[in-house]
Each structure stands twice: as C-alpha cells, then as structure tokens.
Structure 1
Amino acid sequence: MNPMDRKNTMTAKATHYRGGRIFTAAEPAWAESMIVEDSQLTYVGDTVTADALTRDADIVELDGAFVLPGFIDAHTHLLMMGQSLQKVDLQSAVDLAGIQDRIGRFAADNPTAPRILGRSWLFPALGGRPPTRQMIDAVEADRPVYLDSNDVHSVWVNSAALHELGIDDHTPDPLGGRIERDPATGHATGMLYETAVTQIVWPALAKVVTDHERDVALAAAFERYLADGVTGAVDMALGADEVAALERALAAGGGTLPLRVAGHWLITRTDSTEENVRQVREAATYAQRLQGPWLRMAGIKIIIDGVIDSCTATMKEPYSDGTNAEPIWDLESLAPVVTAADAAGLQVAMHAIGDEASEIGLTALEKAIAANGIRPRRHRMEHLETITKDNVQRLAQLGVVASMQPVHADPAIQENWRAVLGDHRVERAYPWPEMTSAGAVLALGSDAPTAPHPPLPNMYVATTRKSAIDPTLPPNLPEYALPMADALAHATRDAAYSCCWDDLTGQLVAGKAADFVVLDGNPFTDGAGSLLTSRVGLTVVAGRIRHRTTPRPL
C-alpha cells in the first residue's frame, strides 16, 4: 500500500511520534517518525509523509531522541528475578568477611524473618576455600540461610537450612545433582549443586511462599523491566506456580500483561522415560491453552548440564583440576524427550554450557528430525559459553537459535571461569559472532537473576566485551565484540524470532506492534559508553506508555 493511501484507512485516534532518530531493526534501518493507532504501528518513515497522514493526530515531539524496538529478554526467569530483588545482594562482597557482614546486618535488621535469603555470591570471594555451612553458622546459626550462587546453579546453606530441608548423612544425591560432603566425615558441607537445588531447595522454599508474595514479586519484575526498556521476556523455567502467577496477572490486566511473556516449561529429569515424556505432554496441554499475544507457552526447557564456575558443565576435556562432570541429561534420556516435544510442535530450549553438552543436544535434535521428518520447527540452545567450531556449523545447519547472554562474559566475573578451564578453551569463550558467521540466528538476553537484567549495560558488554560492572578492566576477547546495530537487532528483532514473535514485534515497521523505547542518549553518536549512562525516557507496549522518566535537568 502506498503510504498516502493509509490516510483514508485510519479509523482510531492516531499518535504521531515525530522527529526522532528511529532505529527500526529492519530495512530501511532508520526512520524519523512513527504513527501508532491503538496497539499497532501504521506508518514508519519520514516526517513529511507522517505529517500529511496525521493532521488530526496527537503529536509527541521526539526532538531528535533515539528510539529503538522494545528490548525482548530472550532468556530470563521473571518470578525468580522479582524474588531476587528481596534477597541480600552478595555479588560485590570481595571476601568471606564481606559476605558474613552482609548476612549479619540483614539478620539484625530483620529479627522476625523466618529465614534469610541471599544471592549472587562469587567463588573467588572465598579465596580458594570451599564454602561450608560453618562459615554461615558463625553469623546466623538459628534461622535457615539460603545463598544462591551468582549463576543460581548451586546454593550455599547453613546447618539450620540443611535441617529444614531434611538433608542428613543418609540423604542420597538426586539424579543429576550433588549434596557436597566432607570426605573425612561424610557430613553435608552446606553446598548443594544442580538438581539438589531444583529438586530439593526450590520445592521446599516454594511451599513457604504465598500466592500473594508471588504476585508481588512478579509485579516488581515487570516494573523493573519496563523501567529499563524491556517490552517482552522469554521465561525459561516455568512450573505450575509461575504459570498461575502469570495467569493471575493476565486476569488482573483484563487480558493483558505489563509486557509480553513467552514461556518454556521446565522438564525435570527422572529415571523413567515414561515420566519424562509425560512432562512434555503436560507442557503441550499448557501450550494449547496459552497462545495469546501477551502470554504464550512456547515449549519446554531442558537443562543438559551445569555451569563452568562450579565445574558442573559437561566438557569434552577435563577441568584444570583433572575432573569433569557427567551431564544431567545424557543422550539416552534426552532423545525421547526432544523427539516427543518436536512431534508436539513445541520449541525445545536446551541449556548447554559445556562443549560436550551442546554435542549431546544437537545429536538429540538430529534424532528428533530423523524420527519426525520435515516440519516447521524453531528450536533453541541456551548459553553456549563453550562450543566446538564444528558444532557451531551443525547448530546453524539445523536452524537452531543461539540464545546467549553478553552479561555472562563481563570481565568482572571471569576470574574463576577462566581458572577452572585454564587452557585453550578460554580463548574462544562466548563466541557470539561465530554463530552469525555460520548463518545461525543469535538472540541476546540476560538470564536474570543469574545476571543483572538491564539491557543497556548488557549491550555495552556485547559491543565492547568490556565490563559494565568495572569498565576499567581489560576487555574479554575484544575480537568477539558485536557492531552496535547487530547487537541491538539481536536483542530485539532476533529475540522476537527466538520465541516465534517475529510476526508480532521486534521491529519498528508498519503492521507490527507499537512496542518501543525512547532513550535520552544515542549509542550510535555518543559511543558505546553512553549505554552505561543513558536512561529510558519512555517504554511503550502495544501503543500504551508503560513507563515514563522525568527528563534530566540541563
């Protein structure tokens, strides 16, 4: 349709966002004005044409401000993120004394709290010593204390928490997890890894959280995301409690949410293939019911391995100490689940951090394709912090989306990561450009709360490989930095593609949703450093202003 022909088709009251520097993440890449009717963009282009189309429209003068599609966090955990905002933040604690001080102060300030929850502690803070329950007991022995590691794949607890969880000398390790024990005594040390977290800690804590508390945490996550320019999120660990909270929010919003949410149902490995596949059928039931533009069950999530920092990621070669980790899902257990999900039309998202884990996941996908034949499919692989060059090519050939998180490559949190590998593998860490060079779609996200959720610092890491926490640190393999336009497109257009929203949002073009962000800085003209100082002026979702920041004084 000729743009001028649209003038006679406009029925709703239009709003003309006029005179900006608009990055469309499409072709052409730049525009000056946008026309919004109801929830949709009806024109994106030059201001002269937009003026002619909207003589009676409401005008929002952008005054040259930078506009881009709303960020879509391609991998996050919304409820967990909201809950993490209420936990003791330990990431900047540089030593054990600092961790203990923060726990002690929180305990003193909250004498009636039944338990103490913390987050984001880093292994280097302990100076090479293993975490023990006695270290926490020294400052809080009476109430249970649960401290999520920075990657949320392990939890450090005190003696009271072990008692609350019912863990004693005879408690067996869950399949795919580990209860760390003192080799001399056999007693639990207070460190719980992988499925000992997801199958013991998470269910126990979920029982003491009310629906109201979940609703408050989810609302807090939405509020933070909107304030930081995020208009959509892909939640990567949904269970019944999370879906119920999202549906309550959807009902409270009259069929809308503050931002768009796509979700993946977390599949927990058991020793029964029948039970594992039953969980896929359960996810398919949710997917049949939840397919709206605001809440959509996209598929399933499978955590093939752990993480490098705690040496639970499954590698092709041993860690620097000579150990390695078995996968949580081996190929024999994984293939039937992937095949069943593929047959059901579900997206399969597989956490694969170690280079052997991605090998297992890609082989499972090939088996599913061989079993189910040619059909529409858009599967994903999450994190890919290490992956062989051959498997980068396999991933691209299979049409698998590479879902990666720049913030995980921040130099400020790399010391332990690099030390536990300690060899040539650190020189190909987080190889984002290799994915696109091979022809794969790269979608960027945060994995909050394992990392900070704000997208602008995340884009700073993506475009510089420098630290958003401490920008004075040397960059982490700067040859892997992404061009600005590419990074922003991977966090908007390609993030939308990753969850099958590419016909709905992710680009500023006529016919797509009016989901966009206005910044008070422009990284194309002000440089990547401005991503650390720019503020979100407006966040618009489906044509509605969901967040507005008062302009800074001159």
Structure 2
Amino acid sequence: MQASIVIRNARVLTMDETQPHADAVAISGNRILAVGSDVDVARFVGPQTRRIDAGGATVLPGFNESHLHIFSGSVALNTLSLFGVRGFDNLRTALLRFAAERPDSKLLIGKSAEYTLVSETRNMTRHDLDAIIPDRPVILVAPDHHTGWANTLALKMAGLLEGRDVGVGNEVVMAKDGLAHGELREINAMGPVFALGDTGGREGLGFETGGEPAHVTATERVADIAVLRQGLAYCASLGITSIQNMDGNLYQLELMDEIEQTDGLPVRVRIPFHMKSFMPLSDLEAKAAVWRDRYASDKLRCDFVKMFMDGVAQSGTAVFVDDYANRPGWKGEPLFTQDHFNEIAANADRLGLSIAVHAIGDGAVRMVLDGYEAAAAANGPRDRRNRIEHAEVVHPDDLPRFGRLGVVASMQPTHPPGSAGTPLEPYVSCVGEARWQYCFPWRRLVDTGASIVFGTDWPVSPLAPISCIYDAMNRKVWRDDLPDHRLTLAETLAAYTRTSAWLEYMEDRKGILREGYLADLVMLSGDIEAIGLDKLDTLRPVLTLCDGRVTYEA
C-alpha cells in the first residue's frame, strides 16, 4: 500500500509502551500505516507520497488539550491581553491604545488582569477604570476568569450598579456608598456585562447558565462560526489535535457540527452537557443522554457532564475543609449541597455519562469524591473515568481516594502561583502555609495511584502545550522544605497525549502512534528529549496532522 505522507529521520515518541521510539511514520488516509525505522517505512513510499524529513526533530501524538473553553477562548483572541501588565499607568496605556483601535466595539474587554494589577494592597474598583475610560463600557477579567472588574457605565448598562442577586456563590461586591464596588465575583455576576458585547455574551452561555441563546440572527451565527474557526485554527497551530471543552450547550454543538459538515473540524472536539444547580434532574436524560447519542463521532462528541462545586481561592469562593488563612470563620460556600450533588452524580452515572467537576479547595474536592463514591455504591462497578478539574488543594486524607475510586485529576501546570509569570499573592495568603504542601499535588497524586491529564483552562491561561509543558517541568517550590510535585518529562507528555485519550475512552484509536490508529500527530522544531528543560519553551510545532490532514504547517 502506498502512503499519502511519510515522515522520516525523526525522533518519534510513540507514547506506545510496546514500542516507545521509532524513526519514521507512514500515513494512509486518516490512519497510521506504519511506525518503525526509516527502512521499515520506505517500502510504503510511492510516486504520490509526500515525503517529510524531520531533521532529527521530535514527532509525537497530537496534543490533547484536556481542559479549555473554546468559544470564549476564540473570542479572547480579539480582546486585550493584560498578561504581565502591572501598575495603573501601564494599564492606562494598554487600555487607551486598545480602545482607540476598536472605536466600534460595544464592550471593551481585557483578559488576564491580575488581582494585584493596580495595587498590592487593595482591589481594583470601578473608579480606577472610570479614571481611564468613563464613556465606554469596560470589563477586565482575572486570569482565573472567576473575578471581573467593570467601570461605572458598564455596571449601569448591565443593571448591576445598585446591586443584584446573582445566585449562590456569585456576588456583585457592594461599596460603603451603597453602589457596586466594581468587582464582580463568578460568572453569574459578570454575565450581564458580557451580554453588552459584540457577541451578546453567547460564548459564555454554556459556561454561565448551561442555556441557549434566546435568538440568534443568521448574521450573528455566521460571525460566531467565524470566531470558532479562528480559535480552532489557533489550536491546530499549537500542535493540538483534540480538545476537551469544559462548558457546553446545544448551540456550540450545532456550530461545531456545521463546521465539520462543511470544511471539517481541524481538531477533534469533546463538549459536555453543563449541569447547573438550578436545572431539573430530568435534563440528564432529556438533554445530556440525547446529545450523547446525537454527537458520537470520532470528530465531535458529547459524552460527559460538567459541573462546578466551588469558585477560586483568590475571591474567597473556593471551599475548604478548614478556614481560609486570611479570613477566620470562612470556609467558602459550595454551589451544590452534598445530597443534591450525590443525586445528580448517581443519575448521570446510571445513564453511563462520565462526570467532570470543577473543585479548587480541599473541601470541594472532598465533596466531589464523596459524590463519586456514592454513585458507585448506588450503581455498582463500571468503567467510569470521572474527573476533578483543578484539584488545587487536596486534603492528605483524600489523596489516596483518587486512585482508589479511579478518579482522574485534571490539572493545569500554568496555574500554580509563581508559574508562567503569575504572582504568589493573594493565593498563598488565602490558602495559608499549613496547606502549601498539598497545593497542586501532582507527584503525590500519581504516587498514590491517580491518573493525571494536563491542560490550560484557556483563555484562563495561554493555550500553547509546549509552554504548558515547560511550566510543568520548571515549576518552583514556594518554600525550600516543600515537596517537589513535578512529574517526569515522559509522565508529562503522557498527560497531554496517551492518558487524555484514555480519559475519552478513545485509547484504542488515538493518543499513541501505532499502526491502525488515527493519524493525529505533531512534529516539533527540535528534539524535546535532548533540548534541556530550561529551553523547552523555545520549541515550536512545525507540522500538525489531524485525521491524516495537514491542519497546520509552519
């Protein structure tokens, strides 16, 4: 058989434990034809074969981004990045320049605004933003996307200036003058401001409410598809061949399906049914199970349920077993009661749906583990592959429960404060030194039998897998006597490829480079094993193939 593409002279990391290394890969159609030496693969070269010399660079399975928000991330490509911006004067310069470049934008949005952007000693207020731009609505969003700061005009237009009940775990922070302070905690509080923007906030509906847009014109739909195409192409340019979205609604599924039916999706897409606390239990059967059956191809799937148990430590919305170190008497408030969560978990499990739950604090992590254990007790043995998103702090009593219950830890190497240029405060003070050794405990989780997958939570953090791998391998401890939670390079790469495919129940056809498997791979600009950990971030994807199709080429 003649190969359509042959890559030779490569350092192939197959992620296949039966054949870890090879020199060449042959592809026919959307499948891998052969993996082996240059001589082994040469027999598949014909007159129509495209031959690629890797020049000794690494070829490995395409990256599987296990946690991102594709619609909001795609929109964020056209917003102001405040990553690394510090101080009021620098904020003013960046925001005024951005506003001048977009005179017709309905809402000015800045992303990756640090909690300490304006001051190390106080939170940003609406008055800070009014001093820069008072006559156009503005919102800045923290890197974790759980806190935002809006100017007075935006708050007034969104109906938030005099406060509003935005639900449990969400808050419009009020000032002493009886008007909104400017700080908006969690998505329900920020949502009314995002609704003022060019997209009408549609990109946040699957995240904020799990609901659908009330009305979308044909023009708006075309614009939304264009935005998603841009985001998907960006994924491919970074060597990503699979994404696991962490918010979902039918609208996103329909848009993705339209892209697949026209030009074809450049990455494989997995989207959840997003279950919120106010939704009826019947939605699991009437919607989640129906969507699973409707979208079940290798390119577009909807086969799991996403939930939130808490918020984030920086805003006081994460849930801890013991009090916040900087707020005695406060442990945080969960978004579900234990009984309610147990009921949802048991019903989703009964329907054969896997579950992914955002849980930051050790109290929230414990509640989710308790719910998974209750579901298993109710429904009996099953290959569940449930997961906890972030698991930033895990109580020592709960560390071995991940492995025992088969719960996957879905982690983000860019999230530990001090990584990727992020500040330590206010996180480390919120958590407190007594819990530091149990923060982002990758090594301990793996050593106690847990499986780990890696992602970025884009647009919360930059999307590039290579940068994320660099951050994972170069993570620094906050104090010299704290444990080093880094994994090996091989474990880290597995968390971005083989294990992520297994998590999707697709380990029989992707995540490793093996004959007969789907032709999803990335070629880098150098040898990832030889370059040195401190230089990992200098590598770049130069070729991405998804389903045998070139989706990016430098």
Question: TM-score normalized by structure 2?
Answer: 0.90
Unaligned segments of structure 1, at least 5 residues: 1-9, 468-472, 550-554
Sequence identity of aligned pairs in percent? 29
Note if contact 1:464-1:482 (Cα within 8 Å) is conserved in structure 2: no
Letter in 2 for 1:23: L
Note if contact 1:410-1:465 (Cα within 8 Å) is conserved in structure 2: no
In 2, Cα distance between equivalents of 1:201 and 1:361? 31
Unaligned segments of structure 2, at least 5 residues: 203-219
How far does residue 250 in structure 1 lie from its aligned partner after superposition? 1.6
How far does residue 232 in structure 1 lie from its aligned partner after superposition? 0.7
Does residue 415 of structure 1 match 2:429?
no
Note if contact 1:383-1:405 (Cα within 8 Å) is conserved in structure 2: yes
The residue that corresponds to 1:374 in the other structure is 381
Letter in 2 for 1:111: P
Note if contact 2:10-2:55 (Cα within 8 Å) is conserved in structure 1: yes
Q: Structure 1 residues 474, 61: closer, same or farther in 2, change over 3 A?
A: farther
The residue that corresponds to 1:349 in the other structure is 356
Letter in 2 for 1:377: R
The residue that corresponds to 1:261 in the other structure is 269
Residue 152 (structure 1) aligned to one of 137, 145, 149 = 145
Q: Structure 1 residues 466, 215: closer, same or farther in 2, change over 3 A?
A: farther
Note if contact 1:178-1:195 (Cα within 8 Å) is conserved in structure 2: no
How far does residue 58 in structure 1 lie from its aligned partner after superposition? 4.2
In 1, Cα distance between equivalents of 2:190 and 2:283? 19
Does residue 117 of structure 1 match 2:125?
no
The residue that corresponds to 2:132 in the other structure is 139
Does residue 405 of structure 1 match 2:395?
no
How far does residue 348 in structure 1 lie from its aligned partner after superposition? 0.4
Q: Structure 1 residues 240, 161: closer, same or farther in 2, change over 3 A?
A: farther
The residue that corresponds to 1:459 in the other structure is 469
Secondary structure of the 2:398 match is: helix
Deviation per CA, 1:376-411: give whole Å up to 9, x if none: 322111111110222121111111111101011251
Secondary structure of the 1:124 match is: coil
The residue that corresponds to 1:479 in the other structure is 484
How far does residue 449 in structure 1 lie from its aligned partner after superposition? 0.4
Does residue 434 of structure 1 match 2:426?
no
Secondary structure of the 1:358 match is: helix
In 2, Cα distance between equivalents of 1:410 and 1:154? 16
The residue that corresponds to 1:229 in the other structure is 239
Letter in 2 for 1:185: D
Residue 50 (structure 1) aligned to one of 38, 41, 46 = 41
The residue that corresponds to 2:331 in the other structure is 324
Deviation per CA, 1:416-446: give whole Å up to 9, x if none: 2112223221233211122221222111111
Between 105-114 and 426-435, the greater mean CA deviation after superposition: 105-114
Q: Structure 1 residues 172, 427: closer, same or farther in 2, change over 3 A?
A: same
In 1, Cα distance between equivalents of 2:105 and 2:480? 41
Between 223-232 and 204-213, the greater mean CA deviation after superposition: 204-213
Secondary structure of the 2:526 match is: coil
Note if contact 1:124-1:415 (Cα within 8 Å) is conserved in structure 2: no
The residue that corresponds to 2:500 in the other structure is 495
Letter in 2 for 1:22: V
Q: Structure 1 residues 477, 295: closer, same or farther in 2, change over 3 A?
A: farther
Q: CA RMSD in A?
A: 2.2
Secondary structure of the 1:461 match is: helix
Between 38-47 and 288-297, the greater mean CA deviation after superposition: 38-47
Letter in 1 for 2:122: R
Note if contact 2:244-2:269 (Cα within 8 Å) is conserved in structure 1: yes
Secondary structure of the 2:16 match is: coil
Residue 533 (structure 2) aligned to one of 528, 532, 536 = 528
Note if contact 2:306-2:355 (Cα within 8 Å) is conserved in structure 1: yes
Deviation per CA, 1:231-275: give whole Å up to 9, x if none: 11000011233223212212222xx311101111222222x6xx2
Deviation per CA, 1:146-189: give whole Å up to 9, x if none: 2111100122111111122222435224122111111x333211
Q: Structure 1 residues 499, 199: closer, same or farther in 2, change over 3 A?
A: farther
Letter in 2 for 1:424: A
In the comparison of the two structures, how many residue pairs are matched?
A: 528
Residue 435 (structure 2) aligned to one of 425, 443, 460 = 425
The residue that corresponds to 2:90 in the other structure is 98
Secondary structure of the 1:75 match is: strand
Residue 247 (structure 1) aligned to one of 245, 248, 257 = 257
Note if contact 1:226-1:546 (Cα within 8 Å) is conserved in structure 2: yes
Secondary structure of the 2:453 match is: strand
Secondary structure of the 1:394 match is: helix
Residue 317 (structure 2) aligned to one of 292, 312, 321 = 312
Does residue 207 of structure 1 match 2:207?
no
In 2, Cα distance between equivalents of 1:93 and 1:53? 52
Secondary structure of the 1:121 match is: coil
Q: Structure 1 residues 477, 94: closer, same or farther in 2, change over 3 A?
A: farther
Letter in 1 for 2:34: Y
Letter in 2 for 1:405: Q
In 2, Cα distance between equivalents of 1:170 and 1:530? 49
In 2, Cα distance between equivalents of 1:139 and 1:427? 41
Note if contact 2:80-2:98 (Cα within 8 Å) is conserved in structure 1: yes
How far does residue 542 in structure 1 lie from its aligned partner after superposition? 1.3
Note if contact 2:56-2:527 (Cα within 8 Å) is conserved in structure 1: no
In 1, Cα distance between equivalents of 2:527 and 2:417? 22
Secondary structure of the 1:99 match is: helix
Q: Structure 1 residues 13, 50: closer, same or farther in 2, change over 3 A?
A: closer
Note if contact 1:260-1:293 (Cα within 8 Å) is conserved in structure 2: yes
Deviation per CA, 1:290-310: give whole Å up to 9, x if none: 001111002111011011222
Deviation per CA, 1:10-45: give whole Å up to 9, x if none: 3x6443222211001112211111111111112112
In 1, Cα distance between equivalents of 2:402 and 2:146? 25
The residue that corresponds to 1:18 in the other structure is 8
Note if contact 1:70-1:229 (Cα within 8 Å) is conserved in structure 2: yes
How far does residue 228 in structure 1 lie from its aligned partner after superposition? 1.0
The residue that corresponds to 2:77 in the other structure is 85
In 2, Cα distance between equivalents of 1:75 and 1:486? 18
The residue that corresponds to 1:359 in the other structure is 366
Note if contact 2:152-2:161 (Cα within 8 Å) is conserved in structure 1: no
In 1, Cα distance between equivalents of 2:258 and 2:480? 43
Letter in 2 for 1:452: P
Q: Structure 1 residues 466, 40: closer, same or farther in 2, change over 3 A?
A: farther
The residue that corresponds to 1:552 in the other structure is none
In 2, Cα distance between equivalents of 1:127 and 1:452? 24
Deviation per CA, 1:303-339: give whole Å up to 9, x if none: 1101122221101122222233111122122111111
How far does residue 96 in structure 1 lie from its aligned partner after superposition? 2.6
The residue that corresponds to 1:396 in the other structure is 403
Does residue 217 of structure 1 match 2:227?
yes
Between 86-95 and 200-209, the greater mean CA deviation after superposition: 200-209
Note if contact 1:175-1:195 (Cα within 8 Å) is conserved in structure 2: no
The residue that corresponds to 1:172 in the other structure is 165
Q: Structure 1 residues 204, 396: closer, same or farther in 2, change over 3 A?
A: farther
In 2, Cα distance between equivalents of 1:455 and 1:36? 24
Secondary structure of the 1:480 match is: coil
The residue that corresponds to 1:295 in the other structure is 300
